Structure 1
Amino acid sequence: MVNTKIGEVAVFDIGGTNTKYAVFNNRRVILNKEIIKTPSNYNELISLIRVKTLKRVNTVVLGLPAVIDYNKNKIVYAPNIDYLTNKDLVKDLDLGNVLIENDANLAAIGEYYTFRKSSSSMLMVTIGTGVGGGLIVNGKLLRTQFSVAEIGHIIIENDGRPCRCGNKGCLETYCGKNGILNTYEILGGTKKSTLNKVYSEAKQGKLIAVLTFKQFAHYLSMGLVSVLNVIYVNNIVIGGGISHFGDIFFKDLINFFNSKIYPPYKKNVIINITSLKNDAALLGGFYYAQKSNAFFVDNNNTISS
C-alpha cells in the first residue's frame, strides 16, 4: 500500500566516487534522476543538496557510506569520505525533514521491498568504491545503536593490504574498486588501468584480467561466508557498480561460496545480482520516507512490514 500523503521525496545515494540523486512522487514514480561526481569537501556537499532540493519536497533522504549513531542521528565514521566523519549533516543542512541512513541499508530496503518481501531474510552487499552490507532478518532491517553489517571491514588477510579505516586485510581492500585494480596490477596488468578496461580484457579471455576477477570472487565468497556463518539468511543480493560485471565473476563466486559455506546452509541460500542496478538505494530511500501502514520506522529503529 502506498501512502499518498507523503508528497515528493528527494533521495541522495552518496558514494565515494559518485552521488546518485532522484525525486519520487508519492506513487514511486521517478520524476528526475541524475548521477553527479561526489563533492570533494563538506561545504560543497551541503551546497549540492540544498541546490537540488530548492524545489519544495516533503522529505529528503540521504544514503551515506558511513556508520551512523541512531541515538544521536549523526555520522560517526565515514572512511571513504573523510569529511563526513563526526558531522551532524541533518543540523547543518537545516532543510526541515531530512533523514539519514547507511547507503547499504537503503539498498537492502529497496531490494527487499521491491522484489523479496516473500523472503524472511536477506543480505544486501553493495560493491563500489567500498563494500557495504545491509541485513534484513525476519522481515526487519537489523540495526543497533549503530548501522551494522559492515561486511567491507571483515578481515580476510592477516596483515594484508592497508585499508582507509586504519586496519589491514579488510575485504574492501580486495573487493572494492581500488582493490580490484590493485589485484590486476599485482598480477602484472597495466598500472593506472580502469575497471571497464579490465572487464573488457576479461571478456576477451585475457589471462591477467580473468584471474583478477577470479581472485575477486574468491575474496568476496570469504566475506559472504563469514557473515552467513554468524547470521543465516536465505537470500544474498549483490549490488553496487561492481555488480555490473557479474557475467564475469558470478559463476566463480557461486563455486567458491559453495565450497566454503557451512554444509547445512549450502542448499538453502540463493545468491543473485540485483536487477535494480543503480536504483536500489534510491528506491530504498523512497520506502524509508514512506512510513505508511506497509512500511514504517518503528521505535526500535527498524524498518517493519
Structure 2
Amino acid sequence: MEPSNRTAFSEFILKGFSGYPALEHLLFPLCSVMYLVTLLGNTAIVVVSILDARLHTPMYFFLGNLSILDICYTSTFVPLMLVHLLSSRKTISFSGCAIQMCLSLSTGSTECLLLAVMAYDRYLAICQPLRYPVLMSHRLCLMLAGTSWVLCLFKSVTETVIAMRLPFCGRHVIRHFTCEILAVLKLACGDTSVSDAFLLVGAILLLPVPLTLICLSYMLILATILRVPSATGRRKAFSTCSAHLAVVLLFYSTIIFMYMKPKSKEARISDQVFTVLYAVVTPMLNPIIYSLRNKEVKEAARKAWGSRWVCR
C-alpha cells in the first residue's frame, strides 16, 4: 500500500483544529463525553440483546450490528483525536493513516447500507406483520448484514489502496483531525481522477440510493400508522418514526454535503465540523433514539441488572 516515491516522509501531520485553540479546549470535554456515551450506550445494547432471549429478533439483530458499527467507527479516530486536541505533536504514521482511512471508510459505508436494511425491516414488520416472520428469516438477516459488511470492506480497501499509492511530493500536512480520504487526496500531486471516480460512484450508491429507500419505507410506515384507530398509538408511532428519521437525515445530510459537493482544493473548517456531526454525534444518538427509548430494551436492561445483583 506504500507508494514508491514515499522517501521524503514516513508520517502525516494532522492539523485538525490547531488554528483554533479555544475550539480545541471546547471540543476535548465535549467529544470525550460523547465518545464515552457512545461506548457505554452501544455496549449496553449489544450485551442486553445477547442476554435477553426476547430480543433475539431481526430488529435487535440489526440494532446490535449498528451498535458494533458505531463503536468501531468512532474508535477508529476519536481516541487519537482526543490525544491530538491536548498535544502539540499531531502526527500519524503513513501505514497508520492508511489503516485509519480504510476502517473509517468501511464502517461508515456499512452504516449507510445497514440503516436502509433496518428501515426495510421496520417496513415489513409494520406493513406486512403476518408475513414478516417468513419474509425476514434468520438466514436473510445474516445475508443482509454480512453482505453489507463484506461489500463495504472490499470497497474501502480498494479506495484506500488507490489513494495511498498516489504521489504526495513531500506534502504531508493533512488539514483535518483524521485521515479522511478527501483531505488526503488534496495533498496528492498526481492524477486523482481514478480515486475521484471511485468515490463518486460509491457516494451515489451509498448515499442517495439508501436514503431514498429509507424515506420510501417510512412513508409507507406512516401511511399504515395513519390507519391505526388509537390516537395514543398513532402519537407514539409518530414520535418514534420522527426520531428515527431525524437521526438518519442528520447522518446522511452531513455525509452528502461532504462527499457530493463540488471538489475544492481549499480545506475548510466546515468540513471538520460536519465530520464531527456524522462521525461523533450520530453514533452517540443512535442507541438513545433506536433502543434506550424502547420499552422492551429498558425492561431487558432492568432484568439483566437485577440478575447481576441477585447473583452477588
Q: Smaller-chain TM-score range?
A: 0.3 to 0.5
* Higher RCO structure, 1 or 2 (CA under 8 Å, sep 6+): 2
Tell which structure's C-alpha radius of gyration is larger.
2
Q: Which structure features the higher share of helix residues? A: 2
